[in-house]
Copies of this chain bind each other. A is one copy, B any other.
């Protein structure tokens, strides 16, 4: 007995049943009555998380992120809020900063508000050490936890991820095929997503029988001028590189500025690949080839999964979405 049976017997779409369950006002009284009658006849009991029907739910979801002014997260929050509103849910926004203590404190505060679910936006929300995420696992006993491009194993935790490993794997392959041989890799974070991106770079090199040189892999703060300075200092130290692959457009913009400062021609002399295909990608001259990490699709899928959880359906605990490589003028491919 599930939502599909109710939908079929009542002669309405699953979306309509979902709206009735969630107390969404965009359903006529007649339809609502019919759906509720069918549920009664079929003995359908919505999942413990489908606390709709105006009973014990505040129709509100908490959205947590480390920093809502980061362009990637700002877009994620926008799409999440719009998606939730479409289903009649409000969004409580909570920006935690990056300190674990604050994350934990704000998380508990949100839980105390009896929100219907919590969405953690961004890979950086999950801590690298497993035990530091215990508070999230604990909360998942009571409400569904949705991760946008983050991953944490546990019951009632659902992840929607961009296939970051495959994205950097393909970009590295394309760089190699276009003749680049000394590809520098710059990254901003050791998060789950950050680890996948780095792995894609490594796998592409070893897959071609090339060795991975650790002096070609560098951590850099997410800052345009920091990336420019880092590359200038690597250049001055005598390191030769003919491509820069980055985990974020911010670093790729810094790479373009490095090339200008060092008098290197893009892409003849130096290829550059960004990540996120943000508005930064068209700021520079030449414009950035960048990996589109599909933030809108990630957020839409997260919301759809959450509504599935609310409605007691069988939903995947992990959904992976493929990235796109958007080719512009900083590469020869």
From B90, B93, B279, B284, A113 is in contact (CB under 8 Å) with B90
From B70, B77, B113, B280, A68 is in contact (CB under 8 Å) with B77
A94 to B93 CA separation, bound complex (whole angstroms): 10
Residue of B nearest to A280 (CB): B283
Which residues of chain B are near A181, meaning CB under 8 Å? none
Residue of B nearest to A286 (CB): B260
Task: Decide if A78 touches B68 in the complex (CB within 8 Å).
Answer: yes
Task: Decide if A225 touches B282 in the complex (CB within 8 Å).
Answer: yes
Task: Decide if A283 touches B74 in the complex (CB within 8 Å).
Answer: no
Per DSSP, are chain A's interface residues mostly helix, strand or loop, or mixed?
helix
A217 to B91 CA separation, bound complex (whole angstroms): 40
Task: Decide if A91 touches B92 in the complex (CB within 8 Å).
Answer: yes
Task: Decide if B283 touches A284 in the complex (CB within 8 Å).
Answer: yes
Which residues of chain B are near A70, meaning CB under 8 Å? 74
Task: Decide if A81 touches B106 in the complex (CB within 8 Å).
Answer: no
A:60-74 near B, CB below 8 Å: 60, 63, 67-71, 74
A284 to B279 CA separation, bound complex (whole angstroms): 13
A:226-266 near B, CB below 8 Å: 250, 253, 256-257, 260
Task: Decide if B82 touches A95 in the complex (CB within 8 Å).
Answer: yes
Min CB distance A65 to B, Å, is: 9
Task: Decide if B93 touches A93 in the complex (CB within 8 Å).
Answer: yes
A sample of 5 cross-chain residue pairs with beta-carbon separation below 8 angstroms, ordered by A number, consists of: A68-B78, A81-B93, A81-B95, A256-B285, A283-B283
